[in-house]
């Protein structure tokens, strides 16, 4: 594993096309970032969870775009398939399954006040993190070779160096599967 | 130095296992099913009898060794080891403990067999035998322990069992109080024993705390500490063996069933003190002052108990005081450094006292739990076996020449005389006469004359075989046990004294034959006078005498119990109740209650934060993180 | 360039915290937690990119697996809550109140 600070790679070909690519990439980053933040704000603000979930899907898809910009091809695919696809559709399915009426929702008259208060509380944490990030050394962008973040490379890493955590995660998934079946499968306890 | 044999530990183990087994059977069945008494009886007798067989095996093994190396040991495991103190759970069989072992297991077994008959029909039959086995097991640990600490385990065990058995008929509050009294008085003595043990360890314990090491190192002990240790251990012995001033529990201990009394008085418990002093003979031989104190305490106890015994009207109390009196003799013996004489008296006393108690039990059984001798009389014809065996026991107790008690008692008196303790000898002779008097007073009143209570007399009958056979065996023992230690003047060779010699540190004084004849003659004369007075007063039947003056004083045991009650118990109670009623609510309760109120207030104040919403707990966490971040970002510059 | 990604990650993470502590709707709270997990994922992938090391990708996958497990359990719990109380309000449950 590499140590901090990383090697700084200058673009090999400082062509006009490369500079244009960088500009294009910056534009994409800005677009995705703004979309992600808008989606997140929407999630926090919408009253009905369905609207919140839809807005959260926007965030997730934007994040998938950002992963693509970071040349994480496998994670990009997984973000779309597992997160935006599987997990969010599960959540939305449950929301629809429960057939939530507006009366079921909590009445949050002081929601905005709460949000304002929490922003004040959270602000020092954010500023502290920003301060840390600012203190990191600046590295420039480079174009990675095609193999970075591919299925084969990440897979090799996963099954060589990370085999034990991988197996443990598989057990975790099994346990949660059983737990979900037991929890949601209870019958006749209500009423 | 000592040979290791692995079966020593089994001897106490058999009765202890029996106790556990019987106890479990009793606990699990007493509510629902009734287990046949025979099952309990067999289970109870197996342990003691097996122990007796093992004791015989130990005896044979010891006999095969040369006299000077008759030590068998067995270290089962290391019990604990702290600093210099290393205590093994170890057992030691030498001639002294072997002798004790033999008669404790023999008489214990006989008493168990007798109890099968005596306790018949009792609803706590199983519980009784469980306690009896535990009692015997504790006594065997006491006898076999190879260090004072292991001995103390047995010492406490017999104390506990005496409490359990004395208050066995626990429906009656008097019995429970008697048990309490025995236990508390024993505790006082035990404190002395523990202190003595601690001093002994402080003195020479670091070189090993078993008897063999102690014996080897005893000369390192300074005289003052040796005296302290000797006296403190003797305090323990006064509690266990009922000497002045702690003898008061033993007569009350008659509240228990009669076999228990026999076990306490003959085989276990009360002989523990004498055994302990003999066990520490290497220590007491060095401190003559302690020996004299023990001897005088013993002989005065003998005198006092004999005076009390002359005026009792409960058959068991007469025997109880005779035990206290005989224990006094034993202490007089070990006090004048005649340890083998003392132990020999323990040995013979075990036979005739067990015999007398079991005989008394037989009489009580026949008369449906009547214990007052003034309600008996003329039972000679109704219970011939009991009568004959009891007369043998009484003759032995009184010191009639060919019987066992004569030889052992005479040995003690002779030793006192030979070692120059004239006072002790004279008191001893006086007590011998009194012993003869009160013993035969009891025999004459109970068995001779006319029946005083015709109805009870008509119902009286001889006891069953399971009770009379142990009586006959014990009678044989009471008759012939004395010949084991026949003094030279009668052509004997003192087998027991020679047998005990390797275990004890004693010197046999050499005196002229005149002294020996004087001692024997005085004893015989005292016996004859005592029995003559008893015969003239009670031989032809007499009615219950009225007491006045000194006799009334003696009948009420010099009011010793009342005095103890007034000067010790009542002040204690007063202190206790004053602490309870005055000190506690006004002084100590204040800070305690204030502290609890303080915490209550703090808790109530902080309760506000426990709103119950998970979200709010998350907010607390985030607020904490936020404050931390504020501080950390300060330091990041 | 990495700074931008990390700043975005911080913003999303703080929005997640705000969602968790200010909203009472169970689903919103749950999705806010997912948002925080995603913010962390973004930081992982960004660091991975600038270190030229794919360990971050593996960690991101792990986080996704944990998120999936969490989703399965959390939704089961939500269904139970709805069955019992017919409410989606976290304030309905206050058994811990002192």
| Residue B2 pLDDT greater than 70, yes or no | no
Which residue's structure tokens are 């006898």? B143
Comparing B272-281, B431-440, B540-549, C23-32, the range with the smallest average pLDDT is B540-549
Sheet holding B3-4, edge to edge: B3-4, B72-82, B85-93
Residue A183 is predicted with a pLDDT of: 84
pLDDT band at A135 (very low <50, low <70, confident <90, very high): confident
Interface check for C50 against chain B (CB to CB < 8 A): the answer is no
Higher-pLDDT residue of A13 and B295 is: B295
Q: What is the mean pLDDT of chain B?
A: 85
User: Measured between alpha carbons, how far is A55 from A35 in angstroms, rounded to an integer?
Assistant: 10
Residue B613 is predicted with a pLDDT of: 84
CA distance A5 to chain C (A): 8
Q: Which of C65, C62, C69, C75 is nearest to C30 (CA)?
A: C75
SS3 annotation, B292-314: HHHHHHHHHHHHHHHHHHCCCCE
Query: How far apart, in Å, do the first and last CA atoms of chain B sit?
Result: 80
Residue C98 is predicted with a pLDDT of: 65
User: Measured between alpha carbons, how far is C87 from C98 in angstroms, rounded to an integer?
Assistant: 23
Contacts of A123 in chain B (CB under 8 A): 626
Length of chain A (residues):
191
Token pair belonging to C73: 């359990």
| Residue A167 pLDDT greater than 90, yes or no | yes
Contacts of B630 in chain A (CB under 8 A): 124, 128
CA distance C59 to chain A (A): 9
User: Measured between alpha carbons, how far is B165 from B261 in angstroms, rounded to an integer?
Assistant: 9
Query: How far apart, in Å, do the first and last CA atoms of chain A sit?
Result: 57
Partner residue facing C54 (CB), from A78, A149, A180: A149
Residue A18 is predicted with a pLDDT of: 66
Q: Which of B385, B374, B365, B290 is nearest to B335 (CA)?
A: B290
CA distance B623 to chain A (A): 6
Contacts of C97 in chain B (CB under 8 A): 610-612
Partner residue facing A124 (CB), from B619, B626, B636: B626
Partner residue facing C31 (CB), from A2, A52, A169: A52
Length of chain C (residues):
98
| Residue B220 pLDDT greater than 50, yes or no | yes
Higher-pLDDT residue of B183 and B498 is: B183
Comparing A15-29, A42-56, B147-161, B396-410, the range with the smallest average pLDDT is A15-29
Q: Are strands B72-82 and B85-93 parallel, antiparallel or unpaired?
A: antiparallel
Q: Which chains touch A (3 or more CB pairs under 8 A)?
A: B, C
C-alpha distance from residue B220 to each of B1, B194, B206, B215, B216 (Å): 21, 21, 12, 10, 9
pLDDT in tens, A49-68: 999 999 999 999 999 999 99
Residue A6 phi, psi dihedral angles, 5° rounding: -75, 160
ipTM of the complex in this document: 0.91
Q: Which chains touch B (3 or more CB pairs under 8 A)?
A: A, C
pTM: 0.68
Comparing B212-216, B430-434, C40-44, the range with the smallest average pLDDT is B212-216
Comparing A113-122, B160-169, B434-443, B484-493, the range with the smallest average pLDDT is B484-493
Residue A140 is predicted with a pLDDT of: 64
CA distance B623 to chain C (A): 11
| Residue B1 pLDDT greater than 70, yes or no | no
Partner residue facing B626 (CB), from A122, A132, A135: A122
| Residue A4 pLDDT greater than 60, yes or no | no
CA distance A75 to chain B (A): 30
Q: Percent of chain A scored above 70 by pLDDT? A: 84
Q: Which DSSP state fits C89?
A: B
Strand partners, B81: B86
Contacts of B626 in chain A (CB under 8 A): 121-125
User: Mean of the pLDDT values across residues C56-77?
Assistant: 91
Contacts of B615 in chain C (CB under 8 A): 20-21, 24, 29, 90-91
pLDDT in tens, B488-526: 677 667 777 778 888 787 777 667 778 888 888 888 888
Highest mean pLDDT among B309-318, B379-388, B408-417, C9-18: C9-18
Strand partners, B93: B72
CA distance A13 to chain C (A): 19
Crossing angle of helices A163-184/A151-160, nearest 10°?
90
Asked if B619's CB is within 8 angstroms of A125's CB, the reply is no
Tally Cβ neighbours within 10 Å of residue B634. Answer: 9
Residue A141 is predicted with a pLDDT of: 60
SS3 label, residue A9: coil
pLDDT in tens, B434-453: 999 988 888 888 888 777 77
Asked if B614's CB is within 8 angstroms of C90's CB, the reply is yes
Residue A75 is predicted with a pLDDT of: 92
Asked if B622's CB is within 8 angstroms of A118's CB, the reply is yes
Interface check for B613 against chain C (CB to CB < 8 A): the answer is yes
Q: What is the mean pLDDT of chain C?
A: 89
Contacts of C89 in chain A (CB under 8 A): 105-106
| Residue B548 pLDDT greater than 80, yes or no | no
Asked if A29's CB is within 8 angstroms of C4's CB, the reply is yes
Residue C16 is predicted with a pLDDT of: 95
Tally Cβ neighbours within 10 Å of residue B155. Answer: 28
Higher-pLDDT residue of A16 and B252 is: B252
CA distance B611 to chain C (A): 5
| Residue B232 pLDDT greater than 80, yes or no | yes
Asked if B615's CB is within 8 angstroms of C98's CB, the reply is no
C-alpha distance from residue A95 to each of A48, A103, A106 (Å): 10, 14, 15
Partner residue facing A176 (CB), from C45, C46, C73: C73
pLDDT in tens, B45-58: 898 999 999 999 88
pLDDT in tens, B551-565: 777 777 778 888 888
Q: Percent of chain B scored above 70 by pLDDT? A: 97
* Cis upstream peptide for A5 (omega within 30°): yes
Asked if C21's CB is within 8 angstroms of B615's CB, the reply is yes
Residue A19 is predicted with a pLDDT of: 73
- Residue of B633, B635, B636 to mutate, testing the A interface (most A Cβ within 10 Å of its Cβ): B633
| Residue A2 pLDDT greater than 50, yes or no | no
DSSP B474-519: HHHHHHHGGGGG--GGGT---HHHHHHGGG----PPP--HHHHHHH
Give yes or no for a contact between A122 and C18, defined as CB atoms under 8 angstroms apart.
yes
CA distance C98 to chain A (A): 23
Asked if C94's CB is within 8 angstroms of B613's CB, the reply is yes
Asked if C31's CB is within 8 angstroms of A91's CB, the reply is yes
Interface check for B609 against chain C (CB to CB < 8 A): the answer is yes
User: Measured between alpha carbons, how far is B293 from C62 in angstroms, rounded to an integer?
Assistant: 87
Q: H or E element: which one contains B100? A: helix B95-118
pLDDT band at B126 (very low <50, low <70, confident <90, very high): confident
User: Measured between alpha carbons, how far is A5 from C26 in angstroms, rounded to an integer?
Assistant: 42
Contacts of C30 in chain B (CB under 8 A): none
Residue A191 is predicted with a pLDDT of: 40
Give yes or no for a contact between B149 and B78, defined as CB atoms under 8 angstroms apart.
no
Strand partners, B77: B89
Token pair belonging to B591: 């800070």
Token pair belonging to A156: 């090799």
pLDDT in tens, B355-370: 898 888 888 888 877 8
Residue B117 phi, psi dihedral angles, 5° rounding: -80, -45
pLDDT in tens, B293-337: 999 999 999 999 998 888 888 888 888 899 899 999 999 988 888
User: Measured between alpha carbons, how far is B161 from B240 in angstroms, rounded to an integer?
Assistant: 12
Strand partners, B4: B73
Partner residue facing B622 (CB), from C17, C95, C97: C17
Asked if C29's CB is within 8 angstroms of B622's CB, the reply is no
pLDDT in tens, B599-614: 999 999 988 888 888 8
User: Measured between alpha carbons, how far is A69 from B222 in angstroms, rounded to an integer?
Assistant: 95
Strand partners, B394: none
Q: Give Dmax over CA atoms of chain A in angstroms.
A: 72
Tell me which chain C residue has its CA closest to the CA of residue A3.
C51
Interface check for B495 against chain A (CB to CB < 8 A): the answer is no
Token pair belonging to B630: 């504020």
């Amino acid at each position: 594993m590499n140590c901090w600070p990383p090697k700084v790679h200058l673009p090999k070909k400082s062509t006009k096309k490369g500079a244009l690519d960088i500009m294009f990439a910056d534009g994409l980053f800005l677009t995705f970032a703004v979309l992600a933040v808008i989606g997140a704000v929407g999630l926090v603000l919408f009253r009905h969870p369905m609207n919140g979930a839809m807005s959260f899907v926007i965030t997730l898809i934007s994040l998938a775009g950002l992963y693509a910009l970071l040349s994480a091809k496998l994670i990009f695919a997984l973000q779309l398939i597992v997160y935006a696809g599987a997990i969010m559709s599960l959540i939305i399915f449950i929301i629809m399954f429960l057939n939530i009426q507006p009366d079921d929702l909590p009445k949050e008259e002081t929601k905005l006040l709460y949000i304002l208060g929490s922003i004040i509380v959270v602000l020092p944490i954010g500023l502290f993190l920003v301060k840390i990030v600012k203190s990191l050394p600046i590295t420039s962008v480079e174009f990675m070779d095609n193999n970075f973040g591919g299925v084969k490379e990440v897979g090799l890493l996963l099954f060589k160096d990370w085999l034990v955590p991988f197996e443990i995660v598989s057990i975790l998934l099994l346990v949660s599967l059983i737990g979900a079946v037991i929890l949601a499968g209870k019958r006749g306890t209500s009423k | 130095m000592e040979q290791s044999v692995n079966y020593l530990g089994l001897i106490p183990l058999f009765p202890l296992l029996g106790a556990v087994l019987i106890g479990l059977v009793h606990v699990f069945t007493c509510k629902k099913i009734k287990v046949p008494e025979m099952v309990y009886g067999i289970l109870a007798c197996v342990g003691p009898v097996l122990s007796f067989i093992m004791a015989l095996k130990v005896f044979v093994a010891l006999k095969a060794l040369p006299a000077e190396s008759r030590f068998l040991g067995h270290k089962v495991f290391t019990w604990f080891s702290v600093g210099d103190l290393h205590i093994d759970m170890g057992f030691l069989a030498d001639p002294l403990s072997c002798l004790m072992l033999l008669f404790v297991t023999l008489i214990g077994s006989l008493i168990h067999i007798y109890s099968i008959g005596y306790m018949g029909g009792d609803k706590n039959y199983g519980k009784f035998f469980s306690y009896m086995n535990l009692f015997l097991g504790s006594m065997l640990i006491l006898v076999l322990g190879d260090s004072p600490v292991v001995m103390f385990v047995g010492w406490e065990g017999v104390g506990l069992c005496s409490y359990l058995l004395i208050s066995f008929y626990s429906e009656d509050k008097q019995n429970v109080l008697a048990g309490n009294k025995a236990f508390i008085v024993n505790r006082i003595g035990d404190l002395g024993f523990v202190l003595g043990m601690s001093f002994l360890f402080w003195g020479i314990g670091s070189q090993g705390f078993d008897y063999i090491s102690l014996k080897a190192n005893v000369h390192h002990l300074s005289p003052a500490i040796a005296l302290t240790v000797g006296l403190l251990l003797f305090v323990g012995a006064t509690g266990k063996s009922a000497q002045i001033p702690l003898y008061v529990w033993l007569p009350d201990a008659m509240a228990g069933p009669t076999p228990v009394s026999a076990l306490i008085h003959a085989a276990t418990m009360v002989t523990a003190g004498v055994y302990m002093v003999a066990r520490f003979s290497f220590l007491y031989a060095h401190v003559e002052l302690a020996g004299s104190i023990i001897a005088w305490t013993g002989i005065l106890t003998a005198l006092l108990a004999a005076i009390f015994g002359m005026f009792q009207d409960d058959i068991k109390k007469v025997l109880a005081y005779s035990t206290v009196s005989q224990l006094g003799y034993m202490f007089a013996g070990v006090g004048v450094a005649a340890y083998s004489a003392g132990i020999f008296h323990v040995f013979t006393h075990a036979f005739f006292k067990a015999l007398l108690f079991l005989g008394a039990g037989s009489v009580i059984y026949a008369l449906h739990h009547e214990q007052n001798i003034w309600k008996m009389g003329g039972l000679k014809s109704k219970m011939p076996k009991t009568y004959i065996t009891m007369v043998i026991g009484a003759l032995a107790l009184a010191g009639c020449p060919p019987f066992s008690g004569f030889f052992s008692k005479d040995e003690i008196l002779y030793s006192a005389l030979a070692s120059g303790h004239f006072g002790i000898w004279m008191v001893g002779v006086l007590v011998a006469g009194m012993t003869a008097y009160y013993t035969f007073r009891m025999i004459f009143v109970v068995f001779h004359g006319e029946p005083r209570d015709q109805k009870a007399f008509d119902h009286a009958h001889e006891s069953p075989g399971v009770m009379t056979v142990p009586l006959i065996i014990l009678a044989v023992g009471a008759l012939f046990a004395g010949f084991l230690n026949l003094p030279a003047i009668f052509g004997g060779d003192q087998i027991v004294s020679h047998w005990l010699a390797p275990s004890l540190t004693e010197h046999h004084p050499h005196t002229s034959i005149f002294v020996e004849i004087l001692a024997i003659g005085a004893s015989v004369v005292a016996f004859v006078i005592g029995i003559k007075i008893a015969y003239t007063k009670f031989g032809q039947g007499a009615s219950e005498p009225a007491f006045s003056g000194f006799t009334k004083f003696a009948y009420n045991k010099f009011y010793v119990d009342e005095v103890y009650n007034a000067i010790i118990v009542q002040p204690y109670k007063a202190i206790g109740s004053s602490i309870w009623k005055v000190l506690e609510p006004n002084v100590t309760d204040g800070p305690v209650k204030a502290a609890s109120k303080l915490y209550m207030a703090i808790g109530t104040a902080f309760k506000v934060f426990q709103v119950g919403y998970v979200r709010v707990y998350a907010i607390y966490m985030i607020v904490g993180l936020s404050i931390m971040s504020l501080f950390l970002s300060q330091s990041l510059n | 360039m990495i700074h931008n990604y990390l700043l975005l990650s911080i913003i999303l993470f703080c929005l997640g915290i705000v969602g968790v502590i200010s909203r009472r709707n169970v689903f919103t709270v749950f999705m806010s937690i997912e948002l925080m997990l995603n913010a962390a994922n973004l930081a992982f992938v960004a660091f991975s990119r600038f270190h030229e090391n794919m360990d971050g990708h593996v960690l991101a996958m792990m986080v996704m697996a944990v998120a999936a497990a969490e989703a399965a359990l959390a939704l089961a719990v939500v269904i139970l809550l709805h069955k019992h109380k017919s409410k989606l309000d976290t304030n309905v449950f206050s058994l811990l109140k002192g």
